[in-house]
Amino acid sequence: MASIEADRAKALARLLREELAVAGFDIPHSLALEVVSHQVGAKDWNVLAALVGRSGKAAPPEISPGIPVFRVLSVEAALPFYLDFLGFTLDWEHRFEPGMPLYVQVSRSEAVLHLSEHHGDGSPNGVAWIPVADVFGLHAEVLARPNAPVRPGLERNAPGGPTFSVIDPYGNILRFAQPSAA
């Protein structure tokens, strides 16, 4: 759809009415607005007016952070890693009916992950890069867990900032990184 300001669309509608009136055709202003809206690719004037809003410019669509979906063969086997070792919380779980694959959401602070037993939801060995305000503190917390399944090292000079990586029971990699100030 072409970019157009609301005032410009109204001016074009007035001009259209005037030109048609000179040719002997009298149309209402609302019809002229509809015609101009169609010419710029909008369904109708209401849609165009909503897209351009009061500022006169079309607002870009908002995009929220993505949510990685990790394929796991058993949520039951994966949850201790995410909940007990990494400190995530189980937010919800979904199963279409008994015996069907399980799909869950886990989160910690602003980090949200989906774990899925569904065959079509990715494959093991996925990767998520997760920004952390204090990667050193999180690293120390993870190392202090009793019976930790892994002992991740911390790479201080990683390209995205200090980073430590852990691999879940299904090969999915979580890279916790503290982005550098630059």
- Asked if 152 and 85 sit in the same domain, the reply is yes
pLDDT digits (tens, 9 = 90+) for 91-142: 999 999 999 999 999 999 999 999 999 998 887 889 999 999 999 999 999 9
pTM of the model: 0.67
Look at phi and psi of residue 147 and say left if phi exceeds 0, alpha if psi is from -120 to 50, else beta. Answer: left
- Asked if 108 and 144 sit in the same domain, the reply is yes
- Asked if 98 and 123 sit in the same domain, the reply is yes
- Asked if 149 and 113 sit in the same domain, the reply is yes
- Asked if 125 and 160 sit in the same domain, the reply is yes
- Asked if 12 and 82 sit in the same domain, the reply is no
Answer yes or no: is pLDDT of 43 > 90.
no
- Asked if 114 and 159 sit in the same domain, the reply is yes
Q: How confident is the model at residue 154 (pLDDT cuts 50, 70, 90)?
A: very high
Residue 127's alpha-carbon distances to 41, 84, 118, in angstroms, are 39, 20, 18
pLDDT digits (tens, 9 = 90+) for 72-95: 999 999 999 999 999 999 999 999
- Asked if 102 and 44 sit in the same domain, the reply is no
Q: Taking the C-alpha atoms of 107, 111, 115 and 119 in order, what is their torsion angle to the nearest 10 degrees?
A: 160
- Asked if 111 and 162 sit in the same domain, the reply is yes
Asked whether residue 1 is domain-assigned, the answer is no
| Domain count of the fold of the chain | 2
Asked whether residue 102 is domain-assigned, the answer is yes
- Asked if 126 and 48 sit in the same domain, the reply is no
* Domain containing residue 122: 69-177
Q: What is the DSSP string of 28-63?
A: -HHHHHHHHHHHTT-SSHHHHHHHHTTTTSPPPPP-
- Asked if 30 and 105 sit in the same domain, the reply is no
- Asked if 40 and 114 sit in the same domain, the reply is no
